[in-house]
Amino acid sequence: MKKDIDTLKKRSRRRRDVVEQAGSASLALSGLVGMFFLVVLVWQIAIPTFIDGENGEISAASEFIPISDYVLEWDHPNVNEQGDLKTEPIVLTITWEGQTGAQTHDLEIVVTANRGEKEDVQISEEGLSTTSIEVGKKTKFYLKSVLDVPVSVEQRSGPVPAADASGNPHVSSFVVSGDVAVLISNGSAVFEPLEMAGWTSLLVLTFIVSRPTERRLAPLVRCYGRERQIRGIILLLAIFTIVIGQTTLSAFLGGLCWLLFGVALLRTIEGMERLQNQGRSLTEVKRLKHSISDREGLLLWSRMLLVSACFFIPLDIDIPFLTERYQDIFQPYASGIRSAFFGTVWVMSIAMLVSMPISIGAAIYLEEYAAPTRTTKLIQALVTNLAGVPSIVFGMFGLAIFVKQGGIGLGLGPSILAAGLTMGVMAMPIIVLASQEALRSVPRSLRESAYGVGCTQWQVVKDHVLPSAMPGIMTGSILAMSRIMGEAAPLVVVGAAALVLFDPEPLAALTGGNLNFTVIPIQIYFWTSEPEHAWHSMAAAASIALILLLIAMNSIAIVLRQHFRKRLNS
Amino acid sequence: MSEKIGGEHVPDSTRALDVDGDIDLMVDDLDLWYADKQALFGVSLPIAKNAVTALIGPSGCGKSTLLRTINRMNDLIPICRYEGTITKGDVEITAKDADLVEIRKNIGMVFQRPNPFPKSIYENVGYGVRLHYQPSREELDEIIEKSLKRAAIWSEVADRLHDLGTSLSGGQQQRLCIARTIAIEPDIILMDEPCSALDPIATAAIEELILELKKDFTVVIVTHSMSQAARVSDYTGFMYLGRMVEFSKTDKIFSDPAEELTKRYITGRFG
């Protein structure tokens, strides 16, 4: 009898193991598939943006024409900084591997004040159809080849096409260079030596703290009691890094690295000393990590910084694309998303200011104060359902309530204010639900102990329940915000514009300014519907910008959560 | 009078309620319902000043319910309603317009599971004090030190007052909760099985503390351990199925109970 039970037990254990393995295997598989799609997605987004920006003006005329055909475009090639005519001609060297050997021909382009005759240059076995042409303002001509070999075009002298006032090419897209330069970009190092040292120190410390052994920690032991000196040195290094790097972005990041390194180092030493005072081994990874990371999220931060460095610094993020350049209807590569960027920032700010206080208040009322009557149950059901309503419906709501005049409409017009309010209304049910969930998860014992010392209901909520629920509320709110940040549909209905060539005014609806505005998703949408391929690349670049903004938002969520959790834990 | 429920003759709540000395609080003929289910049947209980009153009885007999009614903690449960009166001096605690904050300030409570606030030890004790009085910083420091000393935990936490209250061990947490309660100087301390989540050593420490607290406070304690009731209490009430079966001096209940039911429960024959 006993034996039967043994076999039964064994069999059930085997079945449990099989189920376990099958479950984890399928999880891993679905994870892999997800990762694959993610990689494909990123690839699909990233590839079109790796435009050879420097040569963007001399690019294949079309995907359907042999690569030896080029289109050449100039914006203001003939005007210098003072607005005077430039006399220096543009010289292109055109080479190809002909049947009679390598051929090299120069093409001289003379810039004139007037619009030049539109003339295409033909390339054949005999050479170029002409060696000199005249071009004027906003000239575009084609370089057409009848050869069946690739032709390469190199600019030898003269202003770079579409040059800006400083003579630098004004054709970079969001990601400037086609090459993924890891440490060296265009022949020069991306990082100054000091910045590099900052990155390396942080990397080494992160590694040591993640996997501590006696030997790795030995150098740190020698730092005991020298906290003040360390603090001073690190601060100096950080300042030097920023000053020497001439306050560029990478210099700031380098300085940040030094600061983070300093704080992490001091925390580590402090934690090690505490461990030793308690007579514990230094290599108690969990405790050491706890003393560093859990409190401040330092480890998390250094990892985030390192990862972001790996991904973004080498690509030379083109900040002007984001915050300086407006859309240029003639030149995709000279366009930026400045107005859309500010539009998004304003819409999000208004949405956040409006929806967060109201929603959190509503959640507190529903969860803590409202008696469970039929009315509150109905409201609860409505809120739950609202969270699932398609966003276009909110757009219609916004159109009726905020945009239109008359009836119940506020008559704000197709403005940022109306858009922000619409988005805020859209975020409300999500925030309410997330906040309610967070409030509900506060243990009853905490409320009881607070009531036990004689708190009023408001004191219980304010001093105990809300601080405990705050991390959850913050996370929910920011996630709701990042969701509505990517929404285009409601704003199409509210009336975001396709082309805005000025900074939007957030309160135009009240002050009577220009109402027009646009946001990044809308900009992407309109760019993708342009026929010219280059705009699609710009749309991809704008998508990456949007994703970066989302990452930034989510990092803020993490920081806020850490902050409130820290307040809770200290 | 008695009623036969589940094979047991359950007597009605007793009216024999004699205590020596002053009565601090009087529960009079309390009926209580959770929705439609009656949990207390005409319970009366005198609570003697500066003495320890223990409530014993099998699980679900209404001990905790009775305790939580004394400082109106049951008001937090929406389906709970009650009839009867509880009076403390000339204050009617069960009055509709009673000041709950004042009641809970004067009748502190220690819960079954240690539940310090997720704040520092200092804040845990100081929070209630700041809520009800406006102490200066020095006064507050003094009150906190005094309370922690009275709760016999000062020596263990003196050097880490700013650590989290929840980082202490279970027994320490419970003493911290007691310190938090006595810091606001209540008259009565209600303890709802304060030792049920603790090990024997921590339990001994708490019991010692209760005997110490008796000098300044009136203590009501709900306990599952009859030996604990015998050790710490001066009066004991035995409850069964929502009735106060017997109330008497602890010596009398444990040596010569008046009711057959009490006798059988104490000797461990049921419950």
pLDDT in tens, A36-95: 765 665 555 444 444 333 333 444 433 443 444 555 655 544 445 555 555 567 777 777
Cβ distance of A451 and B108 shorter than 8 Å: no
Q: Which two tokens stand for residue A64?
A: 């359907």
Q: Which two tokens stand for residue B213?
A: 């607290």
Q: Which two tokens stand for residue A148?
A: 């069946």
Residue B74 per-residue DSSP state: G
Q: Measured in Å, how far apart are chain A's first and last C-alpha atoms?
A: 58
Q: Half-sphere exposure of A259 toward its Cβ, with a 13 Å CA cutoff? A: 13
Q: Does A291 contact B at CB distance below 8 Å?
A: no
Cβ distance of B73 and A451 shorter than 8 Å: yes
Per-residue pLDDT of chain B (271 residues; tens, 9 = 90+): 556 666 667 777 777 777 777 888 889 889 999 988 999 998 989 999 899 999 998 888 888 999 999 988 888 888 898 999 999 888 888 888 888 888 888 999 999 888 899 888 998 999 988 888 888 888 899 999 999 988 888 888 888 888 888 888 888 899 899 999 989 889 999 999 888 888 888 888 889 989 988 888 999 999 988 889 999 999 999 998 888 888 989 988 888 888 888 888 888 776 5
User: Chain B contacts of A446, Cβ < 8 Å?
Assistant: 115, 117-118
Closest Cα in chain A to B78: A371
What percentage of residues in chain A have a pLDDT greater than 90?
8
Distance from C-alpha of B147 to C-alpha of B180, rounded to nearest angstrom:
7
Interface of B with A in 82-101 (CB under 8 A): 100-101
At residue B176, the pLDDT reads 92
H or E, element range at A546? helix A533-569
Residues A477-520: tens digit of each pLDDT: 888 988 888 888 899 888 888 788 788 888 887 887 788 888 99
Which amino acid, one-letter code, is at A540?
A
At residue A314, the pLDDT reads 44
Q: Does B164 contact A at CB distance below 8 Å?
A: yes
Residues sharing a CB contact under 8 Å with residue B245, sequence separation 6 or more, in sequence order: B10, B11, B13, B14, B57, B238, B239, B259, B261, B262
Strand partners, A133: A109
Q: Which residue in A104, A299, A79, A339 sits closest to A206, CA to CA?
A: A299
User: Chain B contacts of A443, Cβ < 8 Å?
Assistant: 115
- Residues A74 and A153: beta-carbon distance below 8 Å: no
At residue A566, the pLDDT reads 66
In whole angstroms, how far apart are CA A249 and each of A192, A255, B155? 12, 10, 53
- Residues A412 and A347: beta-carbon distance below 8 Å: no
Q: Cα distance from A465 to chain B (closest Cα, Å)? A: 10
At residue A456, the pLDDT reads 86
Interface of A with B in 454-493 (CB under 8 A): 454-456, 459, 463-464, 467-468
User: Chain A contacts of B73, Cβ < 8 Å?
Assistant: 448, 451-452
At residue A157, the pLDDT reads 63
List strand residue ranges (DSSP E) for A119-210, in order. 121-124, 127-128, 132-135, 140-145, 151-157, 184-185, 188-189
H or E, element range at A1? none
In whole angstroms, how far apart are CA B9 and each of B2, B254, B262, B271? 6, 20, 12, 14
Q: Is B71 helix (H, G, I), strand (E, B) or coil?
A: coil
Report DSSP letters for A290-358, one per residue: IIIIIHH-HHHHHHHHHHHHHHHGGG-B-HHHHHT----SS-GGG---HHHHHHHHHHHHHHHHHHHHH
Residues sharing a CB contact under 8 Å with residue A517, sequence separation 6 or more, in sequence order: A339, A343, A346, A347, A414, A415, A416, A419, A496, A497, A500, A504
- Residues A169 and A162: beta-carbon distance below 8 Å: yes
Please state the length of chain B: 271
Cβ distance of A449 and B101 shorter than 8 Å: no
- How many beta-carbon pairs under 8 angstroms link A with B? 63
CATH no., domain A327-569: 1.10.3720.10
Q: Which residue in A474, A447, A477 sits closest to A462, CA to CA?
A: A447
Q: Is A142 helix (H, G, I), strand (E, B) or coil?
A: strand
Q: Cα distance from B127 to chain A (closest Cα, Å)? A: 9
Cβ distance of B73 and A570 shorter than 8 Å: no
Q: Is A114 helix (H, G, I), strand (E, B) or coil?
A: coil
Q: Which domains does chain B have, with CATH numbers?
A: 2-113+184-266 (3.40.50.300)
List, by residue range, all CATH 1.10.3720.10 domains of chain A. Answer: 327-569
Nearest beta carbon to residue B108 from set A445, A452, A570: A452
Distance from C-alpha of B14 to C-alpha of B247, rounded to nearest angstrom:
7
Q: Which residue in A210, A194, A310, A317 sits closest to A256, CA to CA?
A: A194
- Which one of A278, A453, A461 would you mutate to disrupt binding with B, by most B Cβ within 10 Å of its Cβ? A453
Residue B250 per-residue DSSP state: H
- Residues B48 and B23: beta-carbon distance below 8 Å: yes
Cβ distance of B164 and A570 shorter than 8 Å: yes
- Residues B188 and B24: beta-carbon distance below 8 Å: yes
**Mean pLDDT: which of A74-78, A149-153, A396-400 is highest?**
A396-400
Distance from C-alpha of A490 to C-alpha of A337, rounded to nearest angstrom:
20
Which amino acid, one-letter code, is at B83?
E
- The 10 Å CB-count burial string (b at 16+, else e) for A143-163 is bbbebeeebebebeebbbbbb
Q: With bands split at pLDDT 50, 70 and 90, how would you rate the model's confidence at A359?
A: very high
- Residues A267 and A296: beta-carbon distance below 8 Å: yes
At residue A95, the pLDDT reads 77
Interface of B with A in 118-137 (CB under 8 A): 118, 120, 127-128, 131-132
Residue A127 Rama label (left phi>0; alpha psi -120 to 50; beta) = left
- Residues B69 and B122: beta-carbon distance below 8 Å: no
- Residues A298 and A292: beta-carbon distance below 8 Å: yes
Its pTM stands at 0.66
Q: Which two tokens stand for residue A228?
A: 């003040």
User: Chain A contacts of B76, Cβ < 8 Å?
Assistant: 447-448, 451
Report DSSP letters for A362-388, one per residue: HHHIIIII----HHHHHHHHHHHHHTT
At residue A175, the pLDDT reads 32
Report DSSP letters for A382-442, one per residue: HHHHHTTS-HHHHHHHHIIIIISEETTEE---SSHHHHHHHHHHHHHHHHHHHHHHHHHTS
Closest Cα in chain A to B125: A453
Cβ distance of B111 and A570 shorter than 8 Å: no
Cβ distance of A464 and B117 shorter than 8 Å: yes
User: Chain A contacts of B181, Cβ < 8 Å?
Assistant: 452-453
Residues A185-200: tens digit of each pLDDT: 555 555 667 777 887 8
Nearest beta carbon to residue A452 from set B104, B113, B162: B104
At residue A48, the pLDDT reads 45
Nearest beta carbon to residue B128 from set A453, A467, A568: A453
Q: Cα distance from B6 to chain A (closest Cα, Å)? A: 33
Q: Is B185 helix (H, G, I), strand (E, B) or coil?
A: coil
At residue A168, the pLDDT reads 38
Radius of gyration of chain A (CA): 31
Q: Which two tokens stand for residue A160?
A: 């770079």
Residues A326-343: tens digit of each pLDDT: 777 766 666 778 888 889
- Over residues A345-372, the mean pLDDT reads 89
Q: Does A447 contact B at CB distance below 8 Å?
A: yes
- Residues A106 and A84: beta-carbon distance below 8 Å: no
H or E, element range at B243? strand B243-249
Q: Cα distance from B100 to chain A (closest Cα, Å)? A: 7
Distance from C-alpha of A512 to C-alpha of A499, rounded to nearest angstrom:
20
Q: Which two tokens stand for residue A131?
A: 């060696």
Question: What ipTM, to 2 d.p.?
Answer: 0.88
Which amino acid, one-letter code, is at A123?
I
**Mean pLDDT: which of A172-181, A233-242, A298-307, A425-434 is highest?**
A425-434
Q: Which two tokens stand for residue A120?
A: 């295409």
- Residues A190 and A184: beta-carbon distance below 8 Å: yes
Q: Which two tokens stand for residue A515?
A: 């109402």
Q: Cα distance from B233 to chain A (closest Cα, Å)? A: 23
User: Chain B contacts of A464, Cβ < 8 Å?
Assistant: 117
What average pLDDT does chain A have? 74
